[in-house]
């Protein structure tokens, strides 16, 4: 009986020890499991190559805050009413055209002297020239844009402006081209008008004129100075308007598309532009 009693006690002790060991193992496992799941993981950094683009991706028209934002209405049904010499050395042309629902009559006066030099093309390599020595002269009376290199003319293009080319810009919305000395401060090769060479209008001089006009009550106190002034081309098939001198822009200087392509090769950011009457 005693032996059986000892055996039973021995078995109970073994079972107790086995239970303790099993419990300790479970607790340890639970601790390790909990430790793994609460471990903070480091973020995975993914490096991207901005230059790696699909070669088939189409290049969109570039839009900049100061570029021409909305296309002008295309001018259609252009008709020359009359062409004559005014006896004062000017060529006078009266034309009519449709712009939207309006039929507009416009009279254009150009000096005969400038017609002889239109289309000047001096053979020069734009890749080897010093573009810092390039200067642009825009003459609103002559409807011309001249490119000077080392103070000598190398190009003369026909140019057009707004409907009142001989008036200086006073405020936003007057559709006049500002007069003065400017520089090109941005180049856009994919503008809605072929290419766009933005001018630094308004500059300090522009603000002085604008504030003086306000002070003297010549423009409304609520007037804004405007912007988005530059040199650009025209819609496809619109070169005839440049030839005729139609004032279709909102104050910019417009050239034929082939001419604006040619001019673009000679200019850079910082190129000086003088606009005069």
Per residue in 166-177, pLDDT (tens digit) is: 999 999 999 999
Does residue 8 surpass a pLDDT of 80? Answer: no
> What integer pLDDT is reported at residue 87 of this predicted model?
86
Domain ranges, ordered by start, for the chain: 133-276
Does residue 180 surpass a pLDDT of 80? Answer: yes
> What integer pLDDT is reported at residue 188 of this predicted model?
96
Mean pLDDT of the chain: 81
Structure confidence at residue 29 as a pLDDT band (50, 70, 90): very low
Structure confidence at residue 233 as a pLDDT band (50, 70, 90): very high
Q: What is the 3-state secondary structure (H, E, C) of the chain?
A: CHHHHHHHHHHHHHHHHHHHHHHHHHHHHHHHHHHHHCCCCCCCCCCCCCCCCCCCCCCCCCCCCCCCCCCCCCEEEEEEEEEEECCCCEEEEEEEEEECCEEEEEEEEEEHHHHCCCCCECCCCCCCCCHHHEEEEEECCCCEEEEEECCEEEEEEECECCCCCCCCCCCCCCCCCCCEEEEEEEEEEEECCEEEEEECCCCHHHHHHHHHHHHCCCCCCCCCCCCCCEEECCCCCCHHHHHHCCCCCCCCEECCHHHHHHHHCCCCCCCEEEEEC
Cβ atoms < 10 Å from Cβ of 84: 10
> What integer pLDDT is reported at residue 155 of this predicted model?
96
Rounded alpha-carbon distances, angstroms, from residue 40 to 30, 31, 32? 18, 16, 15
> What integer pLDDT is reported at residue 70 of this predicted model?
60
Structure confidence at residue 119 as a pLDDT band (50, 70, 90): confident
Does residue 28 surpass a pLDDT of 90? Answer: no
> What integer pLDDT is reported at residue 256 of this predicted model?
97
Beta partners for 198?
A: 186, 230
Which position has the token pair 């707004």? Answer: 162
Per residue in 63-86, pLDDT (tens digit) is: 444 565 566 778 888 989 998 988
Does residue 48 surpass a pLDDT of 80? Answer: no
> What integer pLDDT is reported at residue 76 of this predicted model?
86
Q: How far apart are CA 71 and CA 273, in angstroms?
A: 24
Best CA proximity match to 267, nearest among 177, 113, 157: 157
Cβ atoms < 10 Å from Cβ of 262: 16
Rg (CA), the chain: 38
Residues whose CB is less than 8 angstroms from the CB of residue 249 and which lie 6 or more positions away in sequence, other chains included: 72, 160, 161, 162, 175, 177
Q: How far apart are CA 194 and CA 213, in angstroms?
A: 34
Does residue 110 surpass a pLDDT of 90? Answer: no
Q: What is the reported pTM?
A: 0.72
Per residue in 244-254, pLDDT (tens digit) is: 999 999 999 99
Structure confidence at residue 39 as a pLDDT band (50, 70, 90): very low
Does residue 231 surpass a pLDDT of 90? Answer: yes
The mean pLDDT of 107-136, rounded to a whole number, is 87
> What integer pLDDT is reported at residue 54 of this predicted model?
37
Q: How far apart are CA 109 and CA 168, in angstroms?
A: 17
| Pairing between β-strand 253-254 and β-strand 230-232 as defined by DSSP bridges | parallel
Contact 169, 226 (CB under 8 A): yes
The mean pLDDT of 215-225, rounded to a whole number, is 96
Domain covering 133-276: architecture: Beta Barrel (2.40)
> What integer pLDDT is reported at residue 176 of this predicted model?
97
- Diameter of the chain by CA atoms? 150
């Amino acid at each position: 009986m005693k032996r059986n009693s000892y055996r039973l006690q021995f078995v109970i002790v073994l079972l107790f020890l086995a239970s303790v060991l099993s419990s300790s193992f479970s607790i340890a496992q639970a601790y390790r499991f909990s430790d793994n799941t609460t471990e903070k993981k480091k973020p995975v950094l993914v490096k991207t190559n901005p230059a790696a683009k699909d070669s088939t991706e189409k290049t969109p028209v570039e839009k900049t805050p100061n570029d021409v934002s909305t296309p002008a209405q295309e001018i259609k049904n252009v008709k020359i009413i009359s062409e004559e010499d005014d006896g004062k050395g000017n060529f006078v042309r009266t034309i009519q055209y449709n712009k939207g629902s309006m039929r507009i009559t416009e009279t254009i006066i150009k000096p005969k002297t400038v017609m002889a030099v239109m289309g000047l093309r001096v053979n020069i390599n734009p890749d080897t020239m010093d573009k810092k020595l390039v200067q642009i002269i825009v003459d609103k009376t002559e409807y011309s844009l001249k490119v000077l290199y080392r103070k000598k003319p190398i190009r003369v293009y026909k140019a057009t402006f707004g409907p009142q080319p001989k008036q200086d810009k006073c405020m936003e919305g007057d559709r006049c081209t500002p007069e003065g000395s400017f520089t090109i401060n941005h180049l856009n090769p994919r503008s809605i008008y072929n290419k766009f060479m933005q001018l630094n209008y308004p500059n300090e001089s522009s603000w002085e004129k604008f504030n003086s006009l306000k002070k003297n009550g010549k423009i409304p106190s609520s007037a804004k100075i405007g912007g988005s002034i530059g040199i650009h081309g025209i819609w496809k098939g619109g070169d005839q308007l440049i030839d005729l001198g139609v004032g279709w822009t909102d104050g910019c200087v417009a050239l034929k598309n082939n001419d604006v392509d040619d001019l673009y090769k000679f200019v850079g950011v910082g190129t000086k532009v003088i606009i005069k009457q």
